[in-house]
Structure 1
Amino acid sequence: MKNVALVGYGVIGKRVADAINVQDDMDLIGVCDVINDWRIQNAVRKEYDIYAATTDAEKQMKASGISVKGSLQDLLDKVDLVVDCTPKNIAAKNVEVYKKQGIKFIVQGGEKHETTGHSFSAENNYKSAVNLDATRVVSCNTTSILRTLTALKRADLLDYARGTLLRRATDPWESHLGGIMNTMVPEKDIPSHQGPDAQSVDPDLDVITSAVKVPETLSHMHYWNVKLKKEASKEEVLNAFKTSTRIKLIHYDQGLVSNNTIKEMFMDMGRSWGDMYEVALWEDMLKVVGDELFYAYVVDNQAIVIPETIDAIRALTGIETDAHKSIEKTNESLGIG
């Protein structure tokens, strides 16, 4: 059993906490944050031990009736590894604390690759993360890119890939703060950052991405044009995708015609928050023309990196050195597959 700390109980953090809590080879020792509102109150309701990131935060938490177990330092003294899910750029500052403590740590995709020197995707480079001191679980979009292109690469089908990303404007719970309405905002640079980010995990990928921010909050959607190494059948391509347990093939002609209908399906399946850990890829939309492949899929920006984070914990702590065994264990615990 490895003891794990969670720093940052937000959209990703609360999901990581719940995922750690259902594993049988790691313990969630505590949750650390600066907030004292309904979000951390839900962590209290789930009986997670609460730690305050700052002295001021501790005062505010106690004033709100929250039982505080101690400081960030108190929490770090009790654990083998910390998962940092704080907002973008905050983790980079926390890293100095973790390094001084000599504790292993994981950051999320909002941080730069250079923060850890290693970026992680379970089906691609698990082995290279075993017993490292730190890694970065790449972003939701990059995770989806790596899952799909790695599956094609394993089948020796992938030559190069070009993708267009339709990016949700903001997280659903923050739609009242920074969303966009009645417009679309293209990212100025091509490639957008996701292509180079995928290459931080797998430098051999020939991938270029472009991205557009659109006025919705449920998910991202990707369209891909892939040059195959050879002419292939649709069945060969689908068999390649089926080698990933974290790609779910869906059917447009069964009513899954949009991101909201897909979300509704996962809610009906009983997933917490309707979370979709898998890439939802349209099987009946997929098209192969000679050596060219065209496909589209949906990415749950709030959920897709959760299983990756659990696998990263196992890799860094060395409690499981085999990627397939860790992925299988994580999938079973989260109801994937």
Structure 2
Amino acid sequence: MEKGKAIRVAVNGYGVIGKRVADAVAAQDDMQLAGVADVTLDWRARIVTGKGFRLFGATTERAEAMAKSGLEVAGSLEDLLAGADIVVDCTPKHVATGNVETYRRKGIKFIVQGGEKHSVTGHSFVAEASYETALGRDCTRVVSCNTTSIVRTLSALKFAGLLARARGTLLRRATDPWESHLGGIMNTLVPEAEIPSHQGPDARSVDPDLDVITMAVKVPETLAHMHYWSVQLARKAEKDEILEAFCSSPRISLVRMSDGLTAINAIKELMADLGRPHDNLYEVALWSDMLKVEGDELFYAYMVDNQAIVIPETIDAIRALTGFQADARASIAQTNASLKIGQLNLRA
């Protein structure tokens, strides 16, 4: 893509991920939000136009229905794609698979989210691990929130020569907060039926060399996910060396129980106090004073904001696919600066 020219980005789907992607794209100096496509006629569509974003119907029929409901509509999804260089599909799970045919027919680069299978694109993306292999591709899949956190943390250990194998237990929130009135679980815990749970194999779709097994259980809360990890190190190490490895990742932030950040709700409150949009926690928030090293064994825990962690990865994937930035570190730094990532630590 021609340097100095803004990347025109279309967002298809304006749910919990789509609205955050749209805001993040609008915050980039090298990107232009071409518009947002959706099917809804309710308050969410009015938020789109209220922010000054162009609204499109996901189909011609939906565009007509939007117009009849009084919404200012710029056209259909096909019209949006005609004015974009790349589309980020943020539609509900499995819907994107059907949209892919349209994207391929239009010859437009596209990104799908972690709810879709690796086979949909043949490439899975986490910026710190697979940016280079995404350069110039037609498409990629930004992996799920939990998988993103797994790849970030294990890659930090791997790059430091510390990782042998990893075993993790995931406490998964039951549903998104805004949909908690529609369903979820209450007064119970629901284990994922198989071991390994899908997140471990999914992490290997990004980095096949990872020796990782995960187990997962749904818990009756909606704030965030929480992970507990037991890692066999490649050699004996001291705690300071482990912390240094985690600090080498630009998207892992250390938090401390001694600072009063004793639960995931406290960390979400910190995000609000920091003025993060939607209280977004883009980083993996890893408790440094809980972390324990016993010889060549490592134990640690962290929090994952499933609505926010994949947003910076999506921005980097846009640059990688379009070839706008060949250097992963440069893209990560640019995205982090625009979203104020890395300002979570309360102490040096």
Structure-2 residue corresponding to 1:310:
315
Structure-2 residue corresponding to 1:79:
84
How much is the aligned-residue C-alpha RMSD, in angstroms? 0.6
Deviation at 1:65, TM superposition (A): 1.2
CA contact (8 A) 2:11 2:18 kept: yes
Q: SS where residue 232 of structure 1 aligns? A: coil
Q: SS where residue 17 of structure 2 aligns? A: helix
Distance (Å, rounded) in 2 between the aligned partners of 1:269 and 1:202: 33
Deviation at 1:50, TM superposition (A): 0.6
Q: How does 1:227-238 map to 2 (within 5 A)?
A: 227-238=232-243
Q: SS where residue 182 of structure 2 aligns? A: helix
- 1:19-43 alpha-carbon deviations (Å, 9 max, x no partner): 0001011111110011111111111
Distance (Å, rounded) in 2 between the aligned partners of 1:114 and 1:174: 29
Runs (4 or more) in structure 1 with deviation over 6 Å come to: none
Deviation at 1:60, TM superposition (A): 2.2
Distance (Å, rounded) in 1 between the aligned partners of 2:46 and 2:217: 36
Query: Does 1:262 pair with 2:267?
Result: yes
TM-score by length of 1: 0.99
Structure-2 residue corresponding to 1:280:
285
Deviation at 1:2, TM superposition (A): 1.2
Query: Does 1:201 pair with 2:174?
Result: no
Q: How many correspondences in the alignment?
A: 337
Q: SS where residue 176 of structure 1 aligns? A: coil
Distance (Å, rounded) in 2 between the aligned partners of 1:212 and 1:331: 31
Distance (Å, rounded) in 2 between the aligned partners of 1:121 and 1:33: 26
CA contact (8 A) 2:8 2:32 kept: yes
Letter in 2 for 1:58: A
Distance (Å, rounded) in 2 between the aligned partners of 1:125 and 1:62: 42
Letter in 1 for 2:199: Q
Q: SS where residue 168 of structure 2 aligns? A: strand
Deviation at 1:53, TM superposition (A): 1.0
Deviation at 1:59, TM superposition (A): 2.6
Deviation at 1:64, TM superposition (A): 2.1
Q: SS where residue 232 of structure 2 aligns? A: strand
Structure-1 residue corresponding to 2:111:
106
Query: Does 1:215 pair with 2:196?
Result: no
Structure-2 residue corresponding to 1:33:
38
Deviation at 1:92, TM superposition (A): 0.3
Q: How does 1:18-97 map to 2 (within 5 A)?
A: 18-97=23-102
Letter in 2 for 1:323: A
Deviation at 1:134, TM superposition (A): 0.2
- 1:168-200 alpha-carbon deviations (Å, 9 max, x no partner): 000000001121100000001000000000000
Distance (Å, rounded) in 1 between the aligned partners of 2:68 and 2:198: 42
Q: Which runs of 5+ in 1 are unaligned?
A: none
- The match for 2:164 among 159, 164, 189 is 159
CA contact (8 A) 2:60 2:75 kept: no
Q: Which runs of 5+ in 2 are unaligned?
A: 1-5, 343-348
Deviation at 1:63, TM superposition (A): 2.3
Distance (Å, rounded) in 1 between the aligned partners of 2:325 and 2:64: 40
Deviation at 1:206, TM superposition (A): 0.2
Distance (Å, rounded) in 1 between the aligned partners of 2:110 and 2:216: 30
Deviation at 1:56, TM superposition (A): 2.7
Q: SS where residue 177 of structure 1 aligns? A: coil
> Matched residues, percent identical?
66
Distance (Å, rounded) in 2 between the aligned partners of 1:72 and 1:245: 35
Distance (Å, rounded) in 1 between the aligned partners of 2:59 and 2:10: 16
Distance (Å, rounded) in 1 between the aligned partners of 2:84 and 2:44: 23
- The match for 2:299 among 294, 299, 302 is 294
Deviation at 1:54, TM superposition (A): 1.6
Deviation at 1:93, TM superposition (A): 0.3
Deviation at 1:227, TM superposition (A): 0.1
Letter in 2 for 1:189: E
Letter in 1 for 2:316: D
Distance (Å, rounded) in 1 between the aligned partners of 2:124 and 2:284: 19
Structure-2 residue corresponding to 1:139:
144
Distance (Å, rounded) in 2 between the aligned partners of 1:233 and 1:156: 13
Distance (Å, rounded) in 2 between the aligned partners of 1:32 and 1:231: 52
